[in-house]
Structure 1
Amino acid sequence: MSLPELPDPIPGEPEVHPDEVTRVPLAIEDWLTVVVMALLALITFANVLVRYFTSQSFAWTEEISVFLMIVLALVAGSAAVARNRHIRIEFFADNGPEARQRALARFGAFMMFLFFAVLAVLSARVVYDDIRFGETSPGIGVPVWWYTMWMPVMSVAIAGRALGLFIRRGRRP
């Protein structure tokens, strides 16, 4: 499958690069970002209105907002890995012979996979401990595992995206 042709860039505008073709659609991260941002905006707006009209605030908004911002960071990390826009030292990654660039890209993708796979295992242990000890959140008293369960889930997603990037970088000639 070939990538769609893009029109010539407009002078002065940044060049647009199409997303690589992936087995798992990148629209998943895009839509999750939209939903999480909309929830954050709604929660914050509701809290502002309540504070303005009643001089009180919703106690639960800070706890939920922090949780949503963490989820947003993990979703954005997954999208960055899938799109190969993750942090790297471009002087080394984008210079030199093509074989070295490919080897460094594969090494970086594999190390991301390894990191997030280990993070998934360790954060799953945290979730297990939260369930086992019955930890509750300080703000609204819900089980803490409701929040912490997303760390291993998103770590597995990012590890999967990194593994996909590793495989795609190995296929290039």
Structure 2
Amino acid sequence: MKRLEHLFVLLNGWALIAMLGAMTLIVGANIGLRYLTGQSLSWADEAARYLMIWMTFSGAGLALRYGGHVAITNLQEQLPNRGQQVMRAVLALGLLLFFGYMVHVGIQYAQRMQFQVTPALRLPFLYVYAAMPVGFSLLIVHLCLIARPFILAGQFKSRASDDGTADTMPGAASG
């Protein structure tokens, strides 16, 4: 199971790197062409925008996994250890329900937009809007993979390695 989780995280990270690399190349080429030839790629801004959308939704799960999202822990820090665990469990359940709902909404949006095409790339908007259900599905998977240590001890996966070590959330009781 750990190998599968490691592969999942690795593929998610490499997909983000590929999207960032493609966006960098497209924007860089467009800037170079504009200054060297006076012409630019008509589709470059649109492609970069859609890559940014996909990166945002695809990377949100990794940010959640490593505790990278904003957290306000004042109330949690005032609770005893058992209260903190209950609060984190309720939070994880609420996130899971919200992410599931957003997958549903994202699928509906994508289906509604499947027959419209983007102005420059002539790509069906289905592919743009598919970032939403895909990203929230990734959030669900990442949340399920970190839920136990997060609920029990307020721990996230370590940024340095994904070998099962964890970073403790500030203010979380250890144990």
TM-score (norm 2): 0.75
Deviation at 1:114, TM superposition (A): 1.2
- Going from structure 1 to structure 2, the CA distance change for 1:22 and 1:100 (only over 3 Å counts) comes to farther
- Going from structure 1 to structure 2, the CA distance change for 1:22 and 1:80 (only over 3 Å counts) comes to farther
Question: Which residue number corresponds to residue 136 of structure 1?
Answer: 117
- Measured in 2, the distance between the counterparts of 1:33 and 1:142 equals 21
The secondary structure found in structure 2 opposite 1:57 is: coil
Misfit runs of 4+, over 6 Å: none
* Aligned counterpart in structure 2 of residue 122 of structure 1, from 105, 129, 143: 105
Deviation at 1:23, TM superposition (A): 5.5
Paired letter, 1:136? V
Deviation track 1:57-77 (CA, whole Å, cap 9, x = no partner) reads: 111111111111111112221
- Structure 1 gaps of 5+ residues are 1-20
* Aligned residues between the structures: 151
Deviates more, 1:104-113 or 1:87-96: 87-96
Aligned CA-pair RMSD: 2.2
- Going from structure 1 to structure 2, the CA distance change for 1:23 and 1:99 (only over 3 Å counts) comes to farther
The question of whether the paired residues in 2 share the 8 Å contact of 1:124 and 1:152 is answered with: yes
- Measured in 1, the distance between the counterparts of 2:91 and 2:117 equals 38
Deviation at 1:24, TM superposition (A): 2.0
TM-score (norm 1): 0.76
Deviation track 1:21-77 (CA, whole Å, cap 9, x = no partner) reads: 795222233222221211111111100111011212111111111111111112221
- Structure 2 gaps of 5+ residues are 154-174
Question: Which residue number corresponds to residue 73 of structure 1?
Answer: 56
